[in-house]
Amino acid sequence: EVQLLESGGDLVSPGGSLRLSCTASGFAFNKSAMSWVRQTPGKGLEWVAVISASTGSTNHAASVQGRFFISRDNSKNTLYLQMSSLTVEDTAVYFCAKTRGLERGFFDYWGQGTLATVSS
Amino acid sequence: SYELTQPPSLSVSPGQTASITCSGDNLDNRFVYWYKQRPGQSPVLVIYDDKKRPSGIPERFSGSNSGNTATLTISGTQTFDEADEADYYCQAWDSNTYVFGSGTRVTVL
């Protein structure tokens, strides 16, 4: 059974930083691209970033480019999202998602999400 | 940037069929994916590559994509299940970006 467990969500002040983690099990993590997708309270879904299975190739949404950085440690079956220069608009539930296709792809499994709140 | 447009809400009577649309420029030139999200839960993939169902998704979920509109249909061959009350999101890929529609909230009358 595929399981994705996010952690690291917290309350942080504007301008601050936060690192989210996602621990995966039940599939070959080192053979799967992975993404972060966020959902603002009561709103829709927004893709944040994707990373390839093994080469570490990444792509970030324009809204977070230069502030957020996706990475992974295949030896630990763990995905990360380093977030910096946070603004109130970054307040959201952040989901990690197993990704089919680095390009023209989709998300076949999702974690339960972790809430990051940016507020003074 | 590419946009996908969905109606904000849809109400369905028990036994009726729900058809949720997703519109975008030349949408049939790309694959469309559909996700179901119940309140307080994570999204679940229900259709991929326009019309394929992942393992475990009931046959009453079907998809199509033609011209500028993709459609997710939840058939009414059985009573529309209250468990199908959820937000439904379409998704496509464009210019190195995974794009989501704004979502459609489906409720049972």
| A1 has a pLDDT exceeding 90 | yes
Question: What's the confidence (pLDDT) of residue A103?
Answer: 77
Chain segment B36-49, per-residue pLDDT in tens? 999 999 999 999 99
In terms of pLDDT, which residue wins out, B14 or A35?
Answer: A35
Helix (H, G, I), strand (E, B) or coil at B81: coil
* Count of A-B CB contacts under 8 Å: 58
Residues of A in contact with B44 (CB under 8 A): 110
Tell me the per-residue pLDDT of B78-103, one tens digit each, with 9 for 90 and over: 555 678 889 999 999 998 899 999 99
Mean pLDDT, all residues of chain B? 92
Percent of chain B with pLDDT over 90: 77
C-alpha span between B41 and A10 (Å, rounded)? 19
**CA B102 to CA A14: how far, in whole Å?**
27
Phi, psi (rounded to 5 degrees) for A56: 80, 10
Among the partner-chain residues B89, B96, B97, the one whose CB lies closest to the CB of A45 is B89
Chosen for mutation from A36, A45, A95, A114 (greatest number of chain B CBs closer than 10 Å) is A45
Nearest residue in B to A62, CA atom: B97
Classified as helix, coil or strand, A117 is strand
Q: Are strands B9-12 and B104-108 parallel, antiparallel or unpaired?
A: parallel
Number of H helices, E strands in chain B: 0, 9
Q: Say if CB B52 and CB B34 are below 8 A apart.
A: no
Rounded Cα distance, A104 and A57, in Å: 15
Q: What is the DSSP letter of A105?
A: -
Asked if A25 and A111 count as a contact pair (C-beta separation under 8 A), the reply is no
Question: A44 Cβ partners below 8 Å, 6+ apart?
Answer: B89, B100, B101, B102, B103
